[in-house]
Structure 1
């Protein structure tokens, strides 16, 4: 019986090649989209599961209150780590202090590489359960040791054994390789940690780190822990909540205590998808994109199923006699239902095969756009069970309506020739077409709004000139120590117009300070300023805009106690005439010499933070180069590299363009926008295939009517309008339904951004016009073809 079902199903597919092709390709595209989205979601949901301690790894975070607003951050003071390790051994198996993952120079002989790395306490390899390729997880117990990722070890030593080899960190600290660990996967928080160096070595790299071990007000580090098996995360969070606040109060740090720090433990399972906090409450995060793409995947697959339903029911009249004869010779309705289901399942099998081919072909591009390393799990039984189950469900859903509808025909009426499909027989098909285009139009509107939001934020005035600005992160103090000589040599090349030093790049803020006093300050006001040390040349190099006062000057000795404020700082302080005002920090009195227009240095989606600029007093982290606009970038960088190598031959000349660094801030939104556009395009493609098939069927069904109308004098334009208007009406109905739905959801999405674009009416108008044009282009081929046909051929049988 089953063999017979398959034979008949195959013959029907071959007999109706055009509709079969539309069904198979449509389903294949829909299933390919669903598989791609499924792989993306699986990668997102399995984030950090590489670590065997996944269920017990936590990060110590804190809420701090600033002028009534609760801010949440991951950075905590160094003594917190020591306190947890000493006093809470019953709750934590491991407590590990780690530094931010920063760029450092690794030197081995003549080879010098800039790599991202972190200093960590010795238990870190056990916390992460690193897969050691060489050595063991105790490799950080020696202060002069280092552990390398496999990728980094090969970059430095090739295929040679790196164990015991001696390296230098930042041309200064001599370390020995004591371990090589497997590269952590892309979908882990610490995947880009190229090396791990000992915490004890870190404490020797700067004098201030010794005193930082007892400073409860300096939030510059992260603390990761592994809970003991019997520890409850909520109870432990409650237990440690007030540790920092109590210590600040005990040392009478009134400024620090005023922030009312509340510590809590945050599990690794929520780091990636649920890392957004507003006013101290977790509001989600990237999980919104998981839900969004899951819904998109379901709808795109549904569009493909709708095509199958429409094409099958549209062909019902042609198969009516087949059903009548089968019922007459004894076929039961159940057998007919299974016959139609077998055809549907055969189509889905072909669709699945083609979809896997499409996924394999598009996966490299998809990974590049999505910033993933996903692959088809060919060897996974779970993957195949999901695919097969997925195909069965898809086949049953796609074939359900045709099977139930066609098997219900009355055989007597069919064989007498009195069977009519009824005036409402086409209504379900029209409803499904409306559903198809409602989804497609909603996706188009959403994609336009995502790209518009990104572009709107990109066009936000940043307050300085990004073009021709190059930033170089310093790993050693050499350039700082020879700053004026380096600057003079660069200016003499003619390729560089300015060099300036700063404590933060123009695309980030690395330091914040509080505890300032000024005239008229409300005693209840808490202050928290971005603090950026700069050299006097920074204003010219960055191209910032002076609003009041002046830039710093090297010839004015009093500028050692001078500061420059941005507009946000002036507004926060409530200063009407800021130039000349005195701002105190402890015993230091700082006089304001200038005010600049706000510069967007942190998130482009957020308001600019109040910022104080002061002159550098020690080696800072960034050198900013302004390239002469009359010289090519390539030539300028070659000349700059020569000068830097002259003074610091042991450091690689690693640079980045400020405009590129700024563009990276839009990476997540642009990736989501690109993927949305891709899936939207496929949704439109599937919908258009369905329209094309339906237009072909209608043209074929109305062949004689078109012949009669043509004989009676109807023009090609009139016939085209006749055949096209029904589809246009359906699309207009879809537009009316999709518009409020898209508006509701996208308006909610935009509320996540304080600096956001408005939803203009033209977005919906352009989408509507575009949908109508796409519809007309799709159906016009069949409409015009039918209108141009010779009426003699269509009426010959009459």
Structure 2
């Protein structure tokens, strides 16, 4: 078919005269090129009319409803103002889209802020002293078997050795923590944890004295109180020179009050400081250990001189003990553990620092970053999903002279407005949830409202979030070609949704990984809780013998308690049943290897201990008053029997400290230390003199409150001046899971929020997909498609994405969690059903989220969706 060419000259002139003064050169060139191409291709009056309709429509779109002044060159201020005005109009115009983005971003920002506060608190632990970077605690490596073990307790003579022979030390202080009863005459009595220290300790730790001085640490009859303890005793009165009775034995003069140690300090529970000389005077063990190098029961803190290096000084003091006469078989190696590492880097394995809580700090930092990234992905996905709606806007803006950089700024301004609004909402969320978060994390964190650094960080954080969230939409939307958009030829294409699918897949990969991780953490905790402990904690209480009034009355006290009917049995020992007392290496037996000097846990108990705690005798018998020879008898636990290699331990002879003991029984291993670690070899002997803890089994037939009231009456008759402080063994054992439970709860909450944010984005995407396919759904229903068919059509794509995400998340979670579980000797298994349950759970949540929009779209009357056709 022959076509007449369209005259090329006068249409060019007309078009140029009409719109050229107001168009960008690139746009004008594009119009000219398009005009010539269409003019050569079209022929006939009808084709030319059609073409001119398009040109005039384009002109009308460019000029309609615009005043001449609107085309004057705007200032930078006008342009920025215009960007934010349009951003607010878009937010108001699309309330559902705005809510999903603002709520999602605000929730993610709140999570990131809470995690940031928690990380800051953890990373600032023990950094209050002025010279914390020069302070260290003395530790030692010892070798009882194949591996080196680490301990923070040392002998007293080491402190004097460091002071006198090693010039790198500026200050050295002995210390020991003890629980004590404090009684201010005429006031209440409290049981407090305090520290007996040498005078240099307060200066080393940069303590702030509120009143009085710290010179009292040089006086054996003085004491320093923390500010909160002084307030509890004396209220607003001046406590200096007031008397406080210690353990109902000794009157001490308050010489000063110091500011409480902060909550993120190793010494946060220290309520008083007393002179080291006082501890030596009242404690027979300390007095006996003044010159003994192998009594390792005390702490030593040191401050190095400026310029001294911890590793170099550690190398110098490493073999102090081994260079002396008669070096011990456990081969101690002394070293300095810097203060900055006390909290986060206190795990050692075979003489090497393997980290510690720092793992959880970075883990939660990563989780916070991922949660924030999930919300940013929602913004990206929803913005690009609405690309067809924004395409004509982009086309018109480019046609009237906007360049791509201006459009990029426009879309970034929208994301920044949204992130700033989200910041305001997130601060509200953090303010409301911080008390609950503190309770869950066992912290005392606050928002630093008056700190300019906090506001600068918050604004910078918000701007960074806005830039990340708006980066992809800004670059994507600004790339549209105006000619294609305005002639109606623009389509997003089948591959335009690929980036969205990748981002949604990433969201659910993160979510499924967090779900699996949370389940494993709780499984590990429950696994340890279900571990047989070897004794019965039910109704078992412990009372520390902090005053001399309770010593020397075992038989009469036991008789009085049993006589109340509130106590089923009572006994005493040298330690709490949930704490393992000191270990010994001077234990030998028949057939022992010459180079074997294991650490054996010694336990000095009274008769009736086994019946009170309910231990399980598996061979031989319990201690009994019927056998006078039991004063030289010993009972071993299963681990000790296995270590010694006895097939039948009953009747074997054990030598301890030069004394011989006959094995009369073997009991099941009792879990007294970490429930995640193996039980250590232990032995039990009768020793009434060493007892300092009372154990009582409450009668099960009485309510606990009634039973405790009767027990308190008995204790009042023996020690009327002391508070009745008891502890349930169940509570003490539960505290062993405190750290793991806090980590599990935090991980669970953050995982739930991550899933919520992912579902918000999924909900928005499903709604836009249903809106875009309205006519398709209408046609399918007209042709006979059922609601189920339509639901399957819209849900299938998301189901596939979740399945792909699970396939990526499962091996990733397996690798990370396998490595984490290696930190525990007693650990759960990574069962296949955990991964399956997590995948099914994610799939169910996805279907529930998508189904609402899918079913809603499927139920729409096709007449309404097709009326425009």
- What TM-score range do you get, normalising by the shorter chain? over 0.9
Q: Take 2:782 and 2:307, find their aligned partners in 1: how far apart are those partners?
A: 88
In the alignment, does 2:239 pair up with 1:162?
yes
Counterpart in the other structure of 1:175: 252
Aligned partner of 1:71 in structure 2 is 149
Q: Quote the Cα distance in structure 2 between the aligned partners of 1:589 and 1:107.
A: 47
Task: Write the mapping of 1:315-330 to structure 2, written as runs, cut at 5 A.
Answer: 315-330=386-401
The aligned residue for residue 11 of structure 2 is none
Structure 2 match to 1:228: 305
Is contact 2:515–2:751 with CA below 8 Å preserved after alignment? yes
User: Aligned equivalents of 2:390 and 2:678: distance in 1?
Assistant: 65
Any idea what the Cα deviations from partners look like across 1:485-519, whole Å, max 9, x if unmatched? 11111111111100110111111112211211211
* Structure 1 residue aligned with 2:114: 36
Question: How many pairs does the alignment contain?
Answer: 791
Partner residue in 1 for 2:322:
245
| Structure 2 residue aligned with 1:22 | 100
Matches within 5 A, 1:568-583: 568-583=639-654
Mapped contact 1:477–1:619 kept (Cα < 8 A)? no
1:80 aligns with 2:158: yes
Instruction: Pick closer, same or farther for the CA change 1:502–1:658 going to 2, 3 Å.
Output: same
Equivalences for 1:416-431 in 2 at 5 Å? 416-431=487-502
Paired with 1:38 and 1:195, the residues of 2 have a C-alpha distance of: 32
- The structural deviation recorded for 1:234 is 2.1
CA distance, structure 2, for counterparts of residue 320 and residue 615 of structure 1: 87
Question: Take 1:7 and 1:68, find their aligned partners in 2: how far apart are those partners?
Answer: 72
Q: In the alignment, which residue of structure 1 is the partner of 2:68?
A: none
Name the structure 2 match of 1:720. Answer: 791
* 1:383 alignment partner in structure 2: 454
Task: Report the 3-state secondary structure (helix = DSSP H, G, I; strand = E; otherwise coil) of the residue aligned with 1:592.
Answer: strand
Q: How much does 1:240 deviate?
A: 1.3
Q: Alignment partner of 1:747: what SS? A: helix
Matched, 1:742 2:813: yes
Partner Cα distance (1:785, 1:726) in 2: 17
Instruction: Check if 1:544 corresponds to 2:647.
Output: no
**Could you say what secondary structure the match of 1:723 adopts?**
helix
Structure 1 residues 101, 699: CA separation in 2 closer, same or farther (over 3 Å shift)?
farther
User: Distance in 1 between the 2:421 and 2:183 partners?
Assistant: 53
Note the C-alpha offset of 1:619: 4.3
Distance in 1 between residues matched to 2:107 and 2:264, nearest whole Å: 27
Write the deviation string for residues 612-658 of structure 1: whole angstroms up to 9, x where unpaired: 10112414221111011111111111111110111111211111111
Q: CA offsets per residue over residues 703-748 of structure 1, 9 Å max, x none? A: 1111111112211111111111111111111000100001100010
Shift of 1:119: 0.6
Q: 2-side partners of 1:101 and 1:389: how far apart?
A: 47
User: Is the CA contact 1:470–1:656 (under 8 Å) kept in the aligned structure 2?
Assistant: yes
Decide whether the 8 Å contact of 1:108 with 1:156 is kept in 2.
no
The offset of 1:526, in angstroms, is: 0.9
Q: How big is the shift at 1:110?
A: 4.9
Between Structure 1 and Structure 2, whose CA radius of gyration is higher? 2
How far did 1:107 drift? Answer: 4.4
Alpha-carbon deviations, 1:392-425, whole Å to 9, x = none?
A: 1111110011111111101001111011111100
The separation in 1 between residues aligned to 2:88 and 2:286, in whole angstroms, is: 76
Equivalent residue for 2:33?
none
Say if 1:37 and 1:294, in contact at 8 Å, map to a contact too.
Answer: yes
The alignment status of 1:601 with 2:679, answered yes or no, reads no
Equivalents in 2 of 1:16, 1:112: separation in Å? 64
Displacement, 1:229? Answer: 1.3
Following the alignment from structure 1 to structure 2, what is the Cα–Cα distance between the partners of residues 308 and 535? 69
Distance of 1:107 and 1:321 partners within structure 2: 81
Q: How many angstroms does 1:383 deviate by? A: 1.5
User: Cα distance, 1:560 vs. partner?
Assistant: 1.1
Is the 1:546–1:594 contact (alpha carbons within 8 Å) kept by the matching residues of 2?
yes
Structure 1 residues 309 and 166, CA gap change in structure 2 (3 angstroms): same
Equivalence for 1:298 = 369
> Is 1:107–1:113's contact at 8 Å kept on the other side of the alignment?
no
Structure 2: state its 5+ residue gaps: 1-78
Instruction: Tell me how far 1:103 sits from its aligned partner.
Output: 4.2
Question: Counterparts in 2 of 1:183-194, with a 5 A limit?
Answer: 183-194=260-271
Matched, 1:531 2:609: no
Q: Superposition pairs for residues 703-714 of structure 1, below 5 Å? A: 703-714=774-785
Match of 2:215 among 138, 141, 144: 138
Structure 2 vs 1, CA of residues 236 and 761 (structure 1 numbering), >3 Å: closer, same or farther?
same
How far did 1:146 drift? 0.2
Q: Distance in 1 between the 2:501 and 2:767 partners?
A: 15
Between 633-642 and 555-564, report the one with greater CA deviation: 555-564
Alignment match, 1:266 = 337
Aligned-pair RMSD on alpha carbons? 1.1
For residue 243 of structure 1, give the secondary structure of its aligned residue in structure 2.
coil
Name the structure 1 match of 2:60. none
Residue 73 of structure 1: how far off its partner (Å) = 0.8
Instruction: Give runs of aligned pairs for residues 205-220 of structure 1, distance below 5 A.
Output: 205-220=282-297
* Aligned position for 1:611: 682
2:529 alignment partner in structure 1: 458
What is residue 786 of structure 1 aligned with on the other side?
857
Given that residues 199 and 218 in structure 2 are in contact (C-alpha distance below 8 angstroms), is that contact kept between their aligned partners in structure 1? yes
Residue aligning to 1:334: 405
